[in-house]
């Protein structure tokens, strides 16, 4: 069961979500002495990240890591790491410890083991993961019928990360080589928040909540499970 939070305006959504993220992270630091925030790329969460960066959190106790990454250098316009550095690792959060996915390896498959080692050092469970959803039903870089998808979704795959080669589409663009958290990697979160906007994506989400192959709409891997609480934040 997904808890759904609908807002009439995006500004109201981000006000509520920023407050929720602040509370969750502050509570984790208070209880455990540390917290971790796993974040996604894309344009939608930008206002969330910018507002969070100004929060009076104990950022020295918080680690930030990516949910997925295109296999491009940080200087590339499509780099999620570059986006996070511009929008979140600023202001009060400018010195936060950040764990990226891209390595010097030529391919995502070759770099996966190094990234896996980086993520294995993060305390588990992860405090909070923010994911999105595309019009094709993908989340993170778990794309429908992608090369590597079956392994990344497999219940017996205990790796936190996986290399993915998506089928090129309007959604993927030309950067089809990715590294992503696996299903089990994301399910090592204490909470997962799905963030997206627009009526078109809400219609896709409603379809994804219905029974059907996970390979067709990988977001289903997180909607149809009882291990981790999942919440949807949506506005038109």
Domain span at 115: 2-7+15-235
- What pLDDT shows up at residue 159? 98
CB 5 within 8 A of CB 232: yes
- The residues, ordered by sequence, that sit 6+ positions from 113 with a Cβ below 8 Å of its Cβ are none
Query: Residue 164 has what DSSP assignment?
Result: E
pTM above 0.95? Answer: yes
Q: How far apart are CA 145 and CA 179, in angstroms?
A: 15
- Long-range CB contact pairs, 106-109, < 8 A, 24+: 107/71, 107/163, 107/177, 108/71, 108/163, 108/164, 108/165, 108/177, 108/178, 108/179, 109/163
- The residues, ordered by sequence, that sit 6+ positions from 38 with a Cβ below 8 Å of its Cβ are 64, 65, 66, 67, 126, 128, 129, 130, 181, 186, 189
Closest CA to 164 of 154, 155, 173, 151: 151
User: What's the CATH code of the domain at 88?
Assistant: 3.40.50.1360
Q: How many CB atoms lie within 10 A of CB 163?
A: 23
- What pLDDT shows up at residue 224? 85
Please list, residue by residue across 130-145, b when 16 or more beta carbons sit within 10 angstroms of its beta carbon and e when fewer do: bbbbbebbbbbbbbbe
- What pLDDT shows up at residue 46? 96
The number of folded domains in the chain is: 1
pLDDT digit string, tens, across residues 190-219? 999 999 999 999 999 999 999 999 999 999
Q: Which residues of the chain have pLDDT under 50?
A: none
């Amino acid at each position: 069961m997904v808890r759904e939070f609908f807002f009439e305006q995006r500004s109201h959504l981000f006000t509520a979500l920023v407050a929720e993220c602040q509370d969750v992270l502050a509570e984790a630091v208070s209880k455990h002495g540390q917290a971790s925030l796993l974040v996604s790329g894309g344009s939608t969460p930008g206002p969330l990240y910018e507002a969070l960066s100004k929060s009076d959190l104990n950022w020295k106790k918080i680690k930030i890591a990516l949910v997925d990454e295109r296999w491009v250098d940080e200087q590339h316009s499509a780099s999620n790491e570059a986006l996070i550095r511009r929008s979140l690792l600023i202001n009060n959060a400018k010195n936060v410890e950040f764990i990226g996915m891209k390595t010097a390896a030529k391919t995502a498959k070759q770099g996966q083991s190094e990234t896996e080692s980086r993520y294995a050092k993060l305390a588990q469970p992860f405090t909070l993961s923010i994911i999105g959803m595309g019009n094709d039903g993908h989340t993170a870089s778990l794309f429908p019928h992608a090369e590597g998808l079956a392994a990344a979704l497999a219940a017996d795959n205990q790796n936190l990360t996986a290399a993915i080669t998506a089928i090129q589409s309007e959604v993927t663009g030309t950067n089809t080589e990715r590294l992503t958290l696996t299903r089990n990697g994301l399910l090592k979160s204490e909470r997962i928040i799905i963030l997206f906007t627009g009526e078109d994506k809400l219609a896709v989400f409603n379809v994804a909540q219905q029974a059907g192959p996970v390979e067709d709409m990988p977001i289903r891997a997180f909607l149809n499970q009882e291990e981790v609480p999942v919440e949807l934040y949506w506005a038109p």
